[in-house]
Amino acid sequence: MQELTSVERIDNILHRKPVDRIGLFEHFWGDTLKVWQDEGKISEGESLGEHFNHDMATCWCFNGVADLDFEPIVIEEDEETVLKKDGNGAFLRQHKLHNATPEHVDFTVKDRATWEEHIVTTLKPETRRIDFDGYIDAKKQAAENNRFFMWSGVNVFESIHPVCGHENMLMGMALEPEWIKEMADTYANLFINLFEELVAKAGNQTASGSMKIWALNRDHLCLLICTKS
């Protein structure tokens, strides 16, 4: 089989057509990149996507933090960790010396009442939630390198637990299911509105052709964009 371009390869996979090989993509932790740079395997500023010749390029351009104007507050700090309250009202302890999943210490939002009091009114589809320049630049680079381009972001589950924590979310599923559904619908609608704003202002064209939205509805938020050659 003739060798395909990255755009053709991923496009064929999505259409269940034959391909010359599987698509190649990976996401690396920052600590992994730092180790490789320290070992001289990756140059400073070198793109891992370029280095490994990935077939896809992504852009994470939405900011889903509830209160965009909130400045994180340091609650306590030691040599290795720092505990902060963030714009979601979450108290998270981060490790200062390496990348790690933060310790979930406490959450302002614990139930529907605190969700409605502190979060709902702030989750508006404002344009400042969108990194238009970053998106346009990433899309342009993907087109120039003939790479399949994909909007990247989180689903509603990954948006909910930073606000109320896993425990409160799971207890809500059992005791207040309508609250959990309301949160899921709120974030789904937020991201859909942001995506519509993104396409309206950043355009639905790339240097290599048009973009295709594979799935976008209010039940399953799944956005996949392809630069067609």
By C-alpha distance, which of 187, 164, 168 is closest to 118? Answer: 164
Assess contact for 104 and 148: CB atoms under 8 A: no
Does a structural domain hold residue 94? no
Does a structural domain hold residue 84? no
Does a structural domain hold residue 79? no
Query: For 29-54, how does the pLDDT look when each residue is reduced to its tens digit (9 = 90+)?
Result: 888 888 999 999 999 888 888 899 99
**Is pLDDT at 8 greater than 60 in this prediction?**
yes
Phi and psi at 80, nearest 5°, equal -110, -25
**pTM, 2 dp:** 0.83
**Is pLDDT at 216 greater than 60 in this prediction?**
no
Does a structural domain hold residue 74? no
- Containing domain of residue 184, as a range? 6-68+108-227
Does a structural domain hold residue 73? no
**Is pLDDT at 207 greater than 60 in this prediction?**
no
Number of domains comprising the chain: 1
Does a structural domain hold residue 194? yes
Assess contact for 87 and 72: CB atoms under 8 A: yes
pLDDT of residue 210: 52
**Is pLDDT at 211 greater than 60 in this prediction?**
no
Higher-pLDDT residue of 152 and 166 is: 166
pLDDT of residue 212: 54
Higher-pLDDT residue of 203 and 221 is: 203
Higher-pLDDT residue of 229 and 96 is: 96
Does a structural domain hold residue 1? no
Does a structural domain hold residue 168? yes
Q: What is the mean pLDDT of residues 94-117?
A: 94
Query: For 129-148, how does the pLDDT look when each residue is reduced to its tens digit (9 = 90+)?
Result: 999 999 999 989 898 888 99
Q: Which residue has the tokens 């790479």?
A: 147
Find the distance separating the first CA and the last CA of the chain, reported in whole Å.
Answer: 19
Q: What is the mean pLDDT of residues 197-215?
A: 64
